[in-house]
Chain A
């Protein structure tokens, strides 16, 4: 048993963190608001960095790694607040040409979730519709849609679809199960990254901001908020890593239970840490100027993807029935 990052995994994590710092510094991320959240050049660079091809076999132009490594990479995308449908583009690699190297932007909508809103619609090359029967391809260019005037996440403009056509079937229920399972792990990883970035920002501010003549982080009332942030983040992180490891090695545990649990805890951690970070930042945390709100908003967005907390909690509870 070896349930801690090895040297290669640490190198991958650090490498991805560096890529994100280079491609997505916060001022550029903020500037992406005007570009509807997606810049084709940056998207292509993400493709070059292997973000989409990560798990494709080397013989098919991929990197040949597993979910364990993908979880580490997507955690960094979450931490850097990278916008756009990175997960669905990644999942579509074996099915849709051009996804692998970031030539295409592949969006996703779940037919069973209402209202039917989809992010970054004008920037999408392809829209995949998921329902219990299969995966369906829809041309995003001809969809009637109303822009949501003020999207919750400023980097993810949303569009309300008037009608969602049936589309062309590209895969059956088996692939649906894979998308749901792997999508949930990647979403959990991104949520862990968000939770972690919130802890980091709150701690940095608590060390630097002084009140009553002392850094506010020396007061237990603030210190304890930060400690709880770290605890939530760490618990969600190990749960997510365990779920990813089980995806790669299904004999190592109950994969579905682990995935649902990880996605549940990661969503809770990102939301709670997003709010806690704003609290630690005080009045400034409530402004547009400080980044704290962007993390909370992304946490809300991501926590609606690949599962809903009530359903996830029910799914875990379902495994308890004797």
Chain B
């Protein structure tokens, strides 16, 4: 085992770092949370810059205009962009991390040709239409139905937690095409153009006050059969392919951000007065923070192990990700709780209060709560770890 990067990895890092130093100052200020047209423009502009510099689709194969980098280079890319404070994928999230990789693995040559380069250039934004009010953790319980009518599917139903629906050009949509088949067998994966007739979008305001998610109502939306990815009724398998991309390096940026957040909280504690001294004088607080920092260090090591295994093609893809996600979301939540306690009454606003930089921490505390829910709740992750890694018997099927 070793933790050193190779010389070629370090060269890649140096080039990237130099480019970032050059490129970042030319970015205009980031638009406000809920100014969606401006956010789309800002996020896709960054994507365009990455594309022009040869850093778009860092882990995508070169045949589809990606960079074809190794998992280690991908890790370095995430590390350097995060450390430099570069924008993260933003509204390009679904296209770059979900739909694109799914098309690479399962799309037809026409679908690849049509969408992949546009996703990489920031010309096409995607949203995710998987979840439904009655099908969250039990995703296969979805009921949005698609009926074949000549060379179209006619789709009717409701989707929820549709990230970025109001700025997207396309949606990765799961529909039920065979209501009589066992629930995992009758599902199909479709590309839905968001300008099709019959789509109604209602923004969903979250706990932080932002409107990243929507509910989407579909009323006889006509989708050409050529937009189907994979075979009819084989969508569950395709969706599992989509999910396997979500794990592995998906949380690297998050992790690095949280590691610097710990330092920031330590800094705050050294400034916030308590009694005759500072909050930092409390050994309980210091130890809690020290423990959190130790766990994040270990998760950084776990990331490196997962990346090594990805590079070698060993291990079961995605499973290291479940261990990571469980541990990370838990430590992140503890850091949030500790910070709220530290901020005390300065936490009573969503912006900085009383000269204490509390706004960002309050927002991140709320965000930390989504980690144990999004992309598979911690309870579902524990089932995955218990059944697929430890080999414990499945729950009886219902």
Q: Which residues from chain A sit less than 8 Å from chain B, CB to CB?
A: 1-6, 9, 68, 199, 203, 206-207, 214-215, 217-220, 223-224, 226-228, 230-231, 234-236, 238-239, 241-242, 245-246, 249, 251-253, 257-258, 260-262, 264-265, 268, 310, 312-322
From B49-57, B170-178, B307-315, the one touching the partner chain is B307-315
Interface centre among A3, A207, A215 (most CB of B within 10 A): A3
Chain A: CB-nearest residue to B262: A320
Measured in the bound complex, the distance between the Cα atoms of B387 and A217 in whole Å is 9
Indicate which residue in B9, B305, B394 contacts A238 across the interface (CB closer than 8 Å): B305
Interface mask (B14-57 → A, CB under 8 Å = 1, otherwise 0): 00000000000000000000000000000000000000000000
Cβ–Cβ contact A314 & B283, under 8 A: yes
Measured in the bound complex, the distance between the Cα atoms of B394 and A304 in whole Å is 39
Cβ distance A284 to chain B, nearest Cβ, rounded Å: 19
Cβ–Cβ contact B290 & A1, under 8 A: no
Measured in the bound complex, the distance between the Cα atoms of B386 and A322 in whole Å is 41
A4 and B298 contact, Cβ closer than 8 Å, known pairs A203-B390, A235-B327, A316-B293: no
Cβ–Cβ contact B287 & A310, under 8 A: yes
From B89-97, B187-195, B263-271, B357-365, the one touching the partner chain is B263-271
A242 and B297 contact, Cβ closer than 8 Å, known pairs A1-B5, A1-B307, A3-B308: yes
Cβ–Cβ contact B290 & A242, under 8 A: no
Chain B: CB-nearest residue to A206: B392
B275 within 8 A of A: no
B292-335 residues at the A interface, CB under 8 angstroms? 293-295, 297-302, 304-305, 307-309, 312, 314-315, 323, 326-327
Cβ–Cβ contact A317 & B386, under 8 A: no
Cβ–Cβ contact A245 & B294, under 8 A: no
11 residue pairs A–B, Cβ–Cβ below 8 Å: A5-B1, A206-B392, A207-B393, A217-B390, A219-B395, A227-B385, A235-B295, A238-B304, A238-B305, A252-B2, A317-B266
A252 and B4 contact, Cβ closer than 8 Å, known pairs A3-B305, A218-B392, A218-B396: yes
Cβ of B182: which chain A residues have Cβ within 8 Å of it?
A: none
Cβ of B3: which chain A residues have Cβ within 8 Å of it?
A: 1, 3, 242, 245-246, 249, 252-253
A203 and B392 contact, Cβ closer than 8 Å, known pairs A227-B326, A242-B3: yes
B118 within 8 A of A: no
Measured in the bound complex, the distance between the Cα atoms of B319 and A230 in whole Å is 12
Cβ of B299: which chain A residues have Cβ within 8 Å of it?
A: 235
Measured in the bound complex, the distance between the Cα atoms of B290 and A321 in whole Å is 11
Interface mask (B63-102 → A, CB under 8 Å = 1, otherwise 0): 0000000001000000000000000000000000000000
Cβ–Cβ contact B286 & A242, under 8 A: no
Measured in the bound complex, the distance between the Cα atoms of B344 and A230 in whole Å is 35
Cβ of A241: which chain B residues have Cβ within 8 Å of it?
A: 1, 301
Cβ of B263: which chain A residues have Cβ within 8 Å of it?
A: 320, 322
Measured in the bound complex, the distance between the Cα atoms of B315 and A258 in whole Å is 25
Interface centre among B2, B263, B297 (most CB of A within 10 A): B297
Measured in the bound complex, the distance between the Cα atoms of B4 and A2 in whole Å is 8
Measured in the bound complex, the distance between the Cα atoms of B393 and A187 in whole Å is 34
B342 within 8 A of A: no
Cβ–Cβ contact B266 & A224, under 8 A: no
Measured in the bound complex, the distance between the Cα atoms of B300 and A24 in whole Å is 35
Measured in the bound complex, the distance between the Cα atoms of B323 and A233 in whole Å is 10
Cβ–Cβ contact B283 & A249, under 8 A: no
Cβ of B390: which chain A residues have Cβ within 8 Å of it?
A: 199, 203, 217, 226-227, 230
Measured in the bound complex, the distance between the Cα atoms of B381 and A219 in whole Å is 15
Cβ–Cβ contact A319 & B293, under 8 A: yes
Cβ–Cβ contact A238 & B393, under 8 A: no
Cβ of A236: which chain B residues have Cβ within 8 Å of it?
A: 298
Cβ–Cβ contact A262 & B5, under 8 A: no
A261 and B2 contact, Cβ closer than 8 Å, known pairs A3-B304, A314-B287: no
A1 and B294 contact, Cβ closer than 8 Å, known pairs A313-B286, A314-B286, A320-B289: no
Cβ of B307: which chain A residues have Cβ within 8 Å of it?
A: 1, 3
Measured in the bound complex, the distance between the Cα atoms of B301 and A2 in whole Å is 11
Cβ of A318: which chain B residues have Cβ within 8 Å of it?
A: 290
Cβ–Cβ contact A227 & B308, under 8 A: no
Cβ of A251: which chain B residues have Cβ within 8 Å of it?
A: 4
Indicate which residue in A5, A9, A207 contacts B392 across the interface (CB closer than 8 Å): A207
Cβ–Cβ contact A317 & B270, under 8 A: no
Cβ–Cβ contact B295 & A265, under 8 A: yes
Given contacts A228-B382, A317-B266, 12 further A-B contacts (CB under 8 A): A2-B2, A4-B1, A4-B308, A203-B390, A214-B396, A226-B386, A227-B383, A230-B385, A238-B302, A242-B297, A242-B301, A258-B297
Cβ–Cβ contact B304 & A265, under 8 A: no
Cβ distance B372 to chain A, nearest Cβ, rounded Å: 13
Interface centre among B4, B287, B299 (most CB of A within 10 A): B287
Cβ–Cβ contact B1 & A6, under 8 A: yes
Interface centre among B6, B299, B301, B314 (most CB of A within 10 A): B301
Cβ of A220: which chain B residues have Cβ within 8 Å of it?
A: 379, 382-383, 395
Cβ distance A69 to chain B, nearest Cβ, rounded Å: 9
Measured in the bound complex, the distance between the Cα atoms of B392 and A21 in whole Å is 25
Interface centre among A219, A231, A236 (most CB of B within 10 A): A231
Cβ–Cβ contact A217 & B393, under 8 A: yes
Measured in the bound complex, the distance between the Cα atoms of B263 and A206 in whole Å is 41
B291 within 8 A of A: yes
Interface centre among A5, A207, A215, A320 (most CB of B within 10 A): A320
